Amino acid sequence: MTAPRSRGVIPRLANAVGRLLGYADRIGEALIVLLFATIVLVGGLQVICRYGFNASLSWSEELQRYGLIWMVFLALVAGYRRGAHIGMSLLLEKLPRAVQVPVGWVVDLLWLGLGLAMVIYTAGYRSAAGMTFLHSVSRQSSAGMGVRMDLVYSCIVVGGTYLTLAALHNLLGRVVGGPPRMSPEEPPC
Amino acid sequence: MLITLLVVLLALIFLGVPVVVAIGSVALGGILALPELAPVEFPRKMFAAVDSFSLLALPYFILAGELMVRGGMSRRLVEFAETLVGHLRGGLGHATVLANMIFANVTGSSAAATSAIGSLMAPEMKARGYKGGFIASLAATSGVIGAIIPPSMVMVVYGAMAGVSIGGLFLGGILPGLLITGLLMLTVHLHGYHPNFPEVRATSGRFRLRHVLQTLPRVWVAVLAPVIILGGIMAGIFTATEAGVVACFYALIVSMFVYRSVQLRDLPRILLTSAITTTVVLGIIAVAGALGWLLTYLNFTEIVGGWLLGVSSRGWVVLLILLAMMMVLTMFIESLAVLIILTPLIVKIGATFALDPIYLGILMVMVTQIGATTPPVAVCLFVGTSIAGCRYDETIRRCWPFIAALMLALLAVLVWPPLATWIPHTFLK
């Protein structure tokens, strides 16, 4: 969505956030596709090694698990950008616009809160011991691949930042010109 | 505190706030409101909830299903089902149920099945004068078979959260799925006797073995899929997750080299779509991990469980109340969210009365799926209604006989547990 050209701080900010989000979308989507393709291939390799060569891989299960988690925290935002997350729109559609618009604001504000919480409580907030969560796990490494755990957990920060950006974009868009348009997708179950 | 949290949660969900946001906000708000809880637990529990090898079956089966649909399998299945049962009275109705039963072997989601098969059958049924509400209800209720016959997304989610063998649940779903197929076909057949449904009495052509044999080569891959997936699990070769990986490669080969309808350059889009579908479910599981931890801290399961167990000391009474509770909740709230939040309670009740975990799991999966097709809030009926192009109140008027058929299947499994447990207990040791 491109914000209408006009002067003022908020429209200009909306434009900047929109452009930034455009890059984030492209990088995010590429990463999602790459991660998904990787875990499927590794899953296939694991099956082949176990049944073809009777040799279990020590790292493949862990790589699939962490790959999936990274994918989930990125695709959470990709789903938000597409309006794919399931909710009960039946009642809301029956209500007047005077209710629908504030609910739209609330939803975007809650998304923003979740995004900020994901970033702050993982990488910003210091516990009584004076360490952030990421810092506290940085000396652990994973059992299978020996990866530093703070790298694994940083998906929450990356996803949270992306989510914050997307929510901010929607909120600024609401200020500048009406609620954002999204294409609803099928619910999953 | 507990009551406040649950009221806010319900209010947010009813206002149309996406389920993942509603659960996430309530969990975050609750954790922040209790000073003795470390806020770090919010992201940590989200992470821990999706850190599971069993849950990997979900993206794999979603991807396999997506590849099969893009590959044009659903269209071929519909043609095949018509050659098999099209000559019967209400043939198109029977074909819808049958196509769904076969399609269920590659899909794990009732909404996906409703839209994949329903959207192909609806125009034809309309052309033959079938009523919109009937089409929508039939498409939705026969889509349920997609989530009962393996693979099944709901079973993966429940199995991973409750610590029940997903392979076992898959095998347990086979007979209930076949039972639902039979009961729905019976429902279509009975409609034919009703004076208001003359169109259901019509038949289309005669049964010709030649036609069946002509269309069979085009669907053999769908018929072969369960042999690989279920055969692998039954023989103890694969876990459910590994079966999912195998299903992906199978679907990839079929759609790229047998049907030749998916090309290499289509794959990124298919992967992205499947990733988002996966995350719509796993996102809820992630935030429900944080909420579940908070609810455990507040003794939610003990309180509700204690109340349920206080009603009666007989297992079947408590089980009935639990099922009724799930049924009512899923009629109003998104059914997967209900299942995810109540899983600890279900497990506790199952343990108290030493119920077979697979039996209990199949009952819970069936009841949530019936909830997903029972008005007012019924995802499958929404999909069916939009496919049939009718009004939602028309669908609500016509859906009850079909829902009765699903309830009958649930009742049968409830009173006769071997329907759910015989296959898994025979093959999985």
Residue B362 CA to residue B421 CA, distance in Å, equals: 9
**A107 and chain B: CB distance < 8 Å anywhere?**
yes
CB pairs under 8 A between A and B: 206
- Regarding an ipTM greater than 0.95, the answer is no
Q: Is the pLDDT of residue A189 over 50?
A: no
Closest-CA distance of chain A to residue B265, Å? 12
Chain B residues in contact with A124 (beta carbon < 8 A): none
CB contact under 8 A, A68 and B55: yes
Chain B residues in contact with A122 (beta carbon < 8 A): 40, 43
Closest residue to A72, CB basis, from B18, B246, B286:
B286
Closest-CA distance of chain B to residue A100, Å? 9
* Contacts of A48 by beta carbon, 8 Å cutoff, 6+ apart: none
Closest residue to A153, CB basis, from B20, B47, B280:
B47
Residue A172 CA to residue A19 CA, distance in Å, equals: 13
Query: Locate tokens 């991990």: which residue?
Result: B289
Chain B residues in contact with A107 (beta carbon < 8 A): 17-18, 21
pLDDT, tens digit, 9 for 90 and up, residues B285-309:
999 999 999 998 999 888 988 898 8
**A91 and chain B: CB distance < 8 Å anywhere?**
yes
**A98 and chain B: CB distance < 8 Å anywhere?**
no
Q: Is A56 exposed, middle or buried (0-12, 13-18, 19+ CB in 10 A)?
A: exposed
CB contact under 8 A, A189 and B110: yes
Q: Is the pLDDT of residue A120 over 50?
A: yes
More confident residue, B137 or A96: B137
Chain B residues in contact with A44 (beta carbon < 8 A): 245, 248-249
Return the pLDDT at B429: 66
Among positive and negative, which fits the CA dihedral A160, A59, B281, B71?
positive
- The whole-number average pLDDT for the span B4-15 is 90
* Contacts of B198 by beta carbon, 8 Å cutoff, 6+ apart: B129
Distances (CA, A) of B95 to B80, B89, B118, B138, B189: 9, 11, 11, 11, 12
CB contact under 8 A, A36 and B63: yes
Identify from B249, B279, B282, B387 which residue to disrupt to test chain A contact, counting A C-beta atoms within 10 A and taking the largest count: B279
Distances (CA, A) of B169 to A108, B150, B365: 38, 8, 9
Q: Is the pLDDT of residue B180 over 50?
A: yes
Confidence band, pLDDT 50/70/90 cuts, at residue A188: very low
- Picking from B105, B116, B172, the residue whose alpha carbon sits closest to that of residue B145 is B105
- The whole-number average pLDDT for the span A41-54 is 87
Q: Is the pLDDT of residue A101 over 90?
A: no
Within a 10 A sphere around the Cβ of B163, how many other Cβ atoms?
11
Q: Is the pLDDT of residue A6 over 80?
A: no
Cα nearest neighbour of A118 on chain B: B43
Range in A23-27, A106-110, B67-71 with the lowest mean pLDDT: B67-71
CB contact under 8 A, A61 and B379: no
pLDDT, tens digit, 9 for 90 and up, residues A64-85:
999 999 999 999 999 999 988 8
SS3 A141: strand
Identify from B145, B238, B265, B271 which residue to disrupt to test chain A contact, counting A C-beta atoms within 10 A and taking the largest count: B271
pLDDT, tens digit, 9 for 90 and up, residues B299-352:
988 898 889 888 888 889 999 999 999 999 888 888 888 899 899 999 999 999
Q: Is the pLDDT of residue B275 over 90?
A: yes
Q: Is the pLDDT of residue A184 over 60?
A: no
SS3 A74: helix
- The whole-number average pLDDT for the span B195-211 is 82
Q: Which of residues 140-159 of A touch B (CB under 8 A)?
A: 153, 155-156
CB contact under 8 A, A133 and B21: no
CB contact under 8 A, B334 and A39: no
Virtual torsion, Cα B178, B180, B182, B187, nearest 10 deg:
-170
Confidence band, pLDDT 50/70/90 cuts, at residue A93: confident
CB contact under 8 A, A133 and B246: no
Confidence band, pLDDT 50/70/90 cuts, at residue A180: low
CB contact under 8 A, B42 and A121: yes
First to last CA, chain A: 30
pLDDT, tens digit, 9 for 90 and up, residues B184-201:
999 999 999 998 898 888
Residue A122 CA to residue A153 CA, distance in Å, equals: 8
The phi and psi torsions of A83 (rounded to 5 degrees) equal 65, 35
Q: Is the pLDDT of residue A182 over 60?
A: no
Sort residue B109 into left (φ over 0), alpha (ψ -120 to 50) or beta.
Answer: beta
Closest residue to A36, CB basis, from B249, B274, B333:
B274
Q: Is the pLDDT of residue B364 over 80?
A: yes
Residue type, B128: R
- The whole-number average pLDDT for the span A138-166 is 91
CB contact under 8 A, A85 and B334: no
Q: Which two tokens stand for residue A175?
A: 């200020």
SS3 A148: strand
Return the pLDDT at B96: 94
- The whole-number average pLDDT for the span A115-144 is 86
Closest-CA distance of chain B to residue A2, Å? 24
CB contact under 8 A, A36 and B334: no
- The whole-number average pLDDT for the span B163-168 is 93
Return the pLDDT at A77: 97
Cα nearest neighbour of B114 on chain A: A189
Confidence band, pLDDT 50/70/90 cuts, at residue B249: very high
For chain B, percent of residues with pLDDT exceeding 70: 100
pLDDT, tens digit, 9 for 90 and up, residues B382-429:
889 988 989 888 999 999 999 999 999 999 999 999 999 999 999 886
Within a 10 A sphere around the Cβ of B341, how many other Cβ atoms?
20
Residue A124 CA to residue B11 CA, distance in Å, equals: 31
- The whole-number average pLDDT for the span A111-140 is 88
Return the pLDDT at B278: 92
Chain A residues in contact with B115 (beta carbon < 8 A): 186
Within a 10 A sphere around the Cβ of B7, how many other Cβ atoms?
11
- Picking from A158, A154, A177, the residue whose alpha carbon sits closest to that of residue A77 is A158
CB contact under 8 A, A47 and B237: no
Query: Locate tokens 């009275």: which residue?
Result: B89
Return the pLDDT at B140: 95
CB contact under 8 A, A87 and B13: yes
Chain A residues in contact with B40 (beta carbon < 8 A): 121-122, 125, 127, 133
Residue B56 CA to residue A188 CA, distance in Å, equals: 16
Cα nearest neighbour of A153 on chain B: B47
Task: Judge whether B368 and B342 are in contact, CB under 8 Å.
Answer: no
Residue B166 CA to residue B360 CA, distance in Å, equals: 13
Q: Is the pLDDT of residue A4 over 70?
A: no
Closest residue to B15, CB basis, from A71, A103, A188:
A103
What is the 3 state secondary structure string of chain B?
CHHHHHHHHHHHHHCCCCHHHHHHHHHHHHHHHCCCCCCCHHHHHHHHHHCCCHHHHHHHHHHHHHHHHHCCHHHHHHHHHHHHHCCCCCHHHHHHHHHHHHHCCCCCCHHHHHHHHHHHHHHHHHHCCCCHHHHHHHHHHHHCHHHHCCCCHHHHHHHHHHCCCHHHHHHHCHHHHHHHHHHHHHHHHHHCCCCCCHHHHCCCCCCCHHHHHHHHHHHHHHHHHHHHHHHHHHCCCCCHHHHHHHHHHHHHHHHHHHCCCCCHHHHHHHHHHHHHHHHHHHHHHHHHHHHHHHHHHCCHHHHHHHHHHHHCCCHHHHHHHHHHHHHHHHHHCCHHHHHHHHHHHHHHHHHHCCCCHHHHHHHHHHHHHHHCCCCCCCHHHHHHHHHHCCCHHHHHHHCHHHHHHHHHHHHHHHHCCHHHHHHHHHHCC
Q: Angle CA(B401)–CA(B321)–CA(B280) in degrees, nearest 5? A: 70
Q: Is the pLDDT of residue A185 over 80?
A: no
CB contact under 8 A, B280 and A43: no
Cα nearest neighbour of A37 on chain B: B271
Name the pTM for this structure: 0.87
Within a 10 A sphere around the Cβ of A58, how many other Cβ atoms?
11
Return the pLDDT at B206: 77
Closest residue to A186, CB basis, from B28, B112, B268:
B112
Q: Around A75, how many Cα atoms within 13 Å sit in the side-chain half-sphere?
A: 29
